[in-house]
Amino acid sequence: MPVFKGAGCAIVTPMYDDGRVNYDKLAELLEYQIAGGTDAIIICGTTGESSTLTHGEHLKAIDFAIKTVNHRIPVIAGTGSNATDTAVMLSAEAASYGADAVLLVTPYYNKATQKGLIRHFTTVAESIPDTPVILYNVPSRTGCNIAPETAVYMAQNVKNIVGIKEASGNLSQIAKLMSLADGCIELYSGNDDQILPILSLGGLGVISVLSNVAPKETHDMVAKFHQGDIKGAADLQLKAIPLCSALFCEVNPIPVKAALNMMGFEVGPLRGPLTEMEDEHKAVLAKAMKDFGITLKEA
């Protein structure tokens, strides 16, 4: 049985104006996602600004999300690191809290060879043998790519490495991965503008930024595809393209936090080195949101 099937929200980490994590607002966002039909929550991923949370904040946010969601939908904890020992520590803690799975990003900055990736991910996975592991391939942010052969080797040889979030944007690579995998790996899109193409290659769903602002539509897009309504799913994908573009016109999660603030959620600022969205880009984002049918709070 897969970790989840459908649309998983890579949820933001809301903050007060002074930069502290706002757990009351996080609870509100979690309820909004569940009410909107979201199929899983991904806490403390890239969109959740995990790289600028302290280890204490990171773990508290994971624990809080698991307790708040309370088994209504799966909670997947982002516990990756460029240091293997740190990833082991975060993953073991998340597993002890009851995370349904962990999401492990490729080591960033110091990177790794393919042999190094196998050792890194295997070490982390074997430290939490009863918790499923989803690999996260996002070379544009980490400078490190998981080759299809490497992902398949790990899925075949490490019992709890079960899936991969593919955000390489390289559909040819993803097709090769699924050809080699022959069903041994669960595939999730990591790019909101490629949900349908990746579903067509055997993907189960998406780990989504778009879902933060459009949970129902993101869920419906995947559900329609799996129900055989390919045209309905494609219509939603194509309708979302301008909004997807606007949500990534500056580095994630700058635009999605701006979008949620425009909607009245008051998720607060970003932590440095991220800065607030440029005014001209905010205007583009606001238009894309309105065109998609999202109601904005009056200024």
Structural domains of the chain, ranges and CATH numbers in brackets = 6-230 (3.20.20.70)
The radius of gyration computed from the CA coordinates of the chain, to the nearest angstrom, equals 18
Instruction: Kindly state the average pLDDT of the residues 171-191.
Output: 98
Q: pLDDT > 70: what percent of the chain?
A: 100
- pLDDT at residue 71 greater than cutoff 80: yes
The reply to whether the predicted model has a pTM over 0.85 is yes
**CA dist., res. 43 & res. 10, Å (int):** 6
How much is the pLDDT for 223? 98
Which one of 165, 224, 257, 282 is the catalytic residue?
Answer: 165
- pLDDT at residue 62 greater than cutoff 60: yes
β-pair partners for 103: 78, 134
- pLDDT at residue 117 greater than cutoff 80: yes
- pLDDT at residue 299 greater than cutoff 60: no
Which one of 32, 67, 109, 136 is the catalytic residue?
Answer: 136
Instruction: Kindly state the average pLDDT of the residues 31-53.
Output: 97
How much is the pLDDT for 259? 98
Q: Dump pLDDT digits (tens) for 197-206.
A: 999 999 999 9
Could you confirm whether 136 is annotated as catalytic?
Answer: yes
- pLDDT at residue 298 greater than cutoff 80: no
| SS3 annotation, the chain | CCCCCEEEEECCCCECCCCCECHHHHHHHHHHHHHCCCCEEEECCCCCCHHHCCHHHHHHHHHHHHHHHCCCCCEEEECCCCCHHHHHHHHHHHHHHCCCEEEEECCCCCCCCHHHHHHHHHHHHHHCCCCCEEEEECHHHHCCCCCHHHHHHHHHHCCCEEEEEECCCCHHHHHHHHHHHCCCCEEEECCHHHHHHHHHCCCCEEEECHHHCCHHHHHHHHHHHHCCCHHHHHHHHHHHHHHHHHHCCCCCCHHHHHHHHHCCCCCCCCCCCCCCCCHHHHHHHHHHHHHHCCCCCCC
Amino acid identity, position 221: M
The mean pLDDT value of the chain amounts to 97
Q: Dump pLDDT digits (tens) for 240-291.
A: 999 999 999 999 999 999 999 999 999 999 999 999 999 999 999 999 999 9
Q: pLDDT > 90: what percent of the chain?
A: 99
